[in-house]
């Protein structure tokens, strides 16, 4: 075996002739096909089965590989930073914005004046 390929193949051609690798009973002049672990259908590995993503992300299967998008409210490398809910600062009348995970609080004169859910 010269190399290793894992994936799906369709319509393999050699010198403009289709190679019949799924049907060993269909001989082809000048071509010898050896099948090793060839199956019909295309089924990828379940790469998300081992839960490879950090705690604040979810696993997205992208064909024998994965991506880890952050869950809502998280951002950054490894999804370790809470999104700053005060970045758009929706508080009014001189209130101070306090960021609590996915909620911001607007404080005026040491008492709570309102809650805005993000």
Mean pLDDT computed over 3-18: 77
Helix (H) / strand (E) containing 117: strand 111-117
pLDDT of residue 87: 87
% of residues, the chain, pLDDT over 70: 86
- Mean predicted confidence (pLDDT) in 44-68: 92
* The predicted structure's pLDDT at residue 105: 85
Domain locations in the chain? 85-118
Residue 80: predicted pLDDT: 95
Q: How many helices (H) and strands (E) does the chain have?
A: 0, 9
Dist. CA 9–CA 41, nearest whole Å: 10
Is this prediction's pTM over 0.75?
A: no
């Amino acid at each position: 075996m010269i190399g290793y390929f894992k994936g799906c193949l369709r319509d393999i051609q050699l010198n403009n002739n289709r190679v019949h690798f799924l049907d060993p009973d269909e001989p082809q002049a000048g071509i010898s096909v050896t099948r090793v672990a060839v199956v019909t259908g295309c089924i990828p590995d379940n790469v998300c089965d081992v839960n490879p993503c950090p705690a604040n992300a979810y696993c997205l299967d992208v064909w024998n590989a994965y991506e880890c998008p952050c869950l809502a409210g998280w951002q950054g490398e490894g999804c370790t930073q809470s999104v700053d809910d005060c970045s758009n600062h929706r508080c009014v009348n001189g209130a101070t914005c306090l960021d609590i995970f996915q909620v911001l609080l607007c404080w005026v004169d040491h008492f709570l004046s309102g809650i805005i859910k993000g």
